Chains A and B, each alone.
Chain A
Amino acid sequence: MSGPAPRSRDFERRAYVEIHNPNLQEAMGLAKQGFVGKRASAVAAVPEWEQLRAAGREIKEHTLAHLDWYLERFEAKVRENGGHVHWASTAEEACRIVVDLCRAAGARRVTKGKSMVAEEIGLNEALADAGLERVETDLGEYIIQLADEPPSHIIAPAVHKTKDQVSDLFHRHHRQYGLTERQTEGPALVAEAREVLREKFLTADVGITGANFLVAETGSTVIVTNEGNGDLTNTLPRVHIVTAGIEKVIPTLDDTATILRLLARSATGQEMSVYTTFSTGPRRASDLDGPSEMHVVLIDNGRSQMLGNEFHHMLRCIRCGACMNHCPVYTAVGGHTYGWVYVGPMGSVLTPLMIGIEDSGHLPNACTMNGRCAEVCPMQIPLPDLLRVHRERQHASRLDAPRARMMLRAWAFLARRPALYRRVVDLGARALAMLGRRRGRLRWLPLAGGWTGSRDLPAPQGETFTRAWRAGRRPR
């Protein structure tokens, strides 16, 4: 597949580091409270929420079941409106198409709106390799571009940064524009980024955006933003390029209305994001502004392989980020720990499909199966079940951890032999109870360092329930 080099093998070590990183913990603490509370109020205000979820799911399932037809319908409509459609099977193909378009336009400076698929295909590196100046225009993306880091969240890419860290970054990088004072307040930081980026918007040759939807009815591509950066990106340059996964197509404008009602509430707790923009082809002959060329790059990059199996559920994902905002593992370790583009629960499902389970074996396992992600997913994606499917595949190909595998086999061996099981657990319960009799707990136990490293092990009471019950010994 390609795209950025994965670092997911490093998950465990990185998790440890981030849990002990005070900046990350401070930033994630703020984010968790904000996202969860705002979403909850927004959802509570819509009595029709569950019907909307069901309708959203139905729209996506319908489209996916006829995906070839809807893609061709979308393509025809884009062309009818004077736009161009390009198809890319792989990340490399997609990057090559975009780079070639930039070269053909004689571009030097390229502005970019936030696009997760662009991250997925490694477009940033491709643009740099082609000698193009890339300017990220979403404030969060701009911050991490200055920091030379990948996004740590799919809608809030700089969620891991504190305001202080942003101050430092701006102070260091904005000197070249004569902005030498270190700003420390939010509004001043936003104003400074606005000033710096305004010049970039006005002088860019190509604007690249992603798409939240591709509308088959009209051939429109849709972006949803709050800042307006996406609109300056798709309006001011001479060429507008849209990168989009093939699963983004939906039938009609009315269908976008349904999913938009789910999207903003799930993502930020807004009823509507500030700007929802439908772009259909290039500027018309009599228009006074707008790009004179518009290109849509439809990217497969493994999606068609998900369509025919249980992972097709994942193609409903609208990239709202609710699953990660509600994931206690994600909020503990931050997005970079996941080691690739997609993070949190949706990332733990997608990443193994895109880069291979060999390089991402931790991701489906680092989950308690608590189900909070599926509960809030606006598209009713059964994320824990999909993680379990990954685990089944790992188990089947003996890619799970050997020690855990051995212990589980031993446990299963016992558990299917009730008589033997009874003898072993009766003995074990008594032994542990004896060890912990006085304090009622054990501070250390051989082979149980994973538990006793950070918590005591409450000691058994002594006799097992079954033994006492059979002997007719009931308390009081």
Chain B
Amino acid sequence: MSDSPQPVGPASDRPRVGLFVTCLVDVFRPNIGFAAVKLLEDAGCRVEVPDLQTCCGQPAYNSGDAADARVLARQVIEAFEGFDYVVGASGSCMGMLHTHYPRLFENDARWRARANALADRCHELLSFLHDVRGVREVRARYDSTVTYHDSCSGLRELGVQRQPRALLASVEGLGLRELEDSNVCCGFGGTFCVKYPAISEKMVTDKANHVIRSGAGTLLGGDLGCLLNMAGRLRRMGSPVRVYHAAEVLAGMTDVPPIGDGEASS
């Protein structure tokens, strides 16, 4: 690593960041990945996207399949060794890497050490920008009132709460209206939403009603799984509220249709 070229300043000033894309962003919303790259580069990071990443293994882990989760965790740990930081635009996936990987290897000293080393270096995107890189404002404009849903894993496993709000406050034209019960689960829960669709529907309907009652024109959040769920429900209910990942707004990359909208409806 010490041999790699350092165009500006010492390495510590321009840390090498491995982007954990997340499987949902990869497939459903590449725009969030590019927004993350832009925000990280604007914050002085060199961003790389390791080839070998697929899924963090959380679906297996939360379904009681620790063996498969371990296989995938090893794959992620190997792919991301050597970076100064590992960053992803999802509190849920990064919580998996940060909080749960070390537990997966409780009885395996060698892998536990590697998991701990990864855990120490991995961060959710918005909290990384704010807490580690000291970003206090972004150059972006978004003319709308927005409301913000706190996704559970980011909030409770990684303490992501004030950072997105602080960054969003610097976006020109944006006004934040707090969402009632913003810290209550939207009913996504990974495989939960398809295993218990009736309960999930009730939860996401409550959430959508809070969003609608907030009067905001846009709903933001930090986790694509929850956003797909809420956008899908809002659309089915006929609500015009637009849904974006907070990173897209912070990066000024809202020229693409909102989540769940097409060329025809935007």
A–B interface present (Cβ within 8 A): yes
Chain A residues in the interface with B (C-beta under 8 A): 12, 15-16, 19, 328-329, 332-333, 365-372, 374-375, 388, 390-396, 400-401, 404-405, 408-409, 411-412, 414-416, 418, 421, 425, 428-429, 432, 436-441, 443, 448-451, 453-461, 463-466, 468-469, 474-475
Known: A333-B199, A460-B29. 20 other contacts (CB 8 A): A12-B196, A15-B196, A333-B202, A365-B192, A367-B189, A371-B157, A372-B156, A372-B185, A390-B64, A391-B62, A395-B65, A411-B55, A412-B71, A453-B201, A455-B236, A457-B228, A458-B231, A461-B28, A461-B30, A474-B37
Complex CA–CA separation, A103 to B78 (angstroms): 69
**B228 near A458 (CB under 8 angstroms)?**
yes
**A440 near B55 (CB under 8 angstroms)?**
no
Given the known inter-chain contacts A412-B72, A439-B265, A458-B259, please indicate yes or no for A425 contacting B65, CB distance below 8 A: no
Complex CA–CA separation, A418 to B187 (angstroms): 30
**B199 near A329 (CB under 8 angstroms)?**
yes
Given the known inter-chain contacts A372-B184, A458-B260, please indicate yes or no for A415 contacting B57, CB distance below 8 A: yes
**A474 near B34 (CB under 8 angstroms)?**
yes
**B198 near A460 (CB under 8 angstroms)?**
no
| Residues of B213-266 whose CB lies within 8 A of A | 228-229, 231-233, 235-236, 253, 256-257, 259-266
For the A-B complex, the count of residue pairs with Cβ-Cβ distances under 8 Å equals 231
- Interface residue SS majority, chain A: helix
Nearest Cβ in chain B — how far from A94, in angstroms?
Answer: 33
Nearest CB to that of A448 among chain B residues?
B194
| Residues of B63-104 whose CB lies within 8 A of A | 63-66, 68, 71-72, 75
- Chain A residues with CB under 8 Å of B157's CB are 371
Given the known inter-chain contacts A372-B152, A414-B54, please indicate yes or no for A332 contacting B203, CB distance below 8 A: yes
Complex CA–CA separation, A443 to B250 (angstroms): 30
Nearest Cβ in chain A — how far from B79, in angstroms?
Answer: 9
Given the known inter-chain contacts A394-B64, A400-B64, A475-B34, please indicate yes or no for A368 contacting B185, CB distance below 8 A: yes
**A408 near B260 (CB under 8 angstroms)?**
no
Nearest Cβ in chain B — how far from A215, in angstroms?
Answer: 34
- Chain B residues with CB under 8 Å of A391's CB are 62-64
Chain B residues in the interface with A (C-beta under 8 A): 21, 23, 25-31, 33-34, 37, 49, 51-55, 57, 59-66, 68, 71-72, 75, 152-153, 156-157, 183-185, 187-206, 228-229, 231-233, 235-236, 253, 256-257, 259-266
- Of the candidates A390, A409, A460, the one having the most CB atoms from chain B within 10 angstroms of its own CB is A460
**A450 near B193 (CB under 8 angstroms)?**
yes
Complex CA–CA separation, A70 to B23 (angstroms): 52
- Chain B residues with CB under 8 Å of A432's CB are 27
Complex CA–CA separation, A380 to B257 (angstroms): 43
Given the known inter-chain contacts A425-B23, A441-B235, A461-B29, please indicate yes or no for A451 contacting B197, CB distance below 8 A: yes
**B201 near A455 (CB under 8 angstroms)?**
yes
B199 contacts which of A366, A404, A474 (Cβ < 8 Å)?
Answer: A366
- Chain A residues with CB under 8 Å of B68's CB are 408-409, 412, 416
- Of the candidates B199, B203, B233, the one having the most CB atoms from chain A within 10 angstroms of its own CB is B199
**B263 near A450 (CB under 8 angstroms)?**
no
Complex CA–CA separation, A365 to B200 (angstroms): 13
| 25 A/B residue pairs, CB under 8 Å, sorted by A | A16-B198, A365-B195, A368-B189, A369-B189, A370-B156, A370-B189, A374-B156, A388-B62, A404-B195, A405-B63, A408-B191, A416-B68, A416-B71, A418-B53, A432-B27, A439-B264, A441-B261, A454-B204, A455-B233, A456-B231, A456-B233, A457-B228, A460-B29, A461-B256, A466-B26
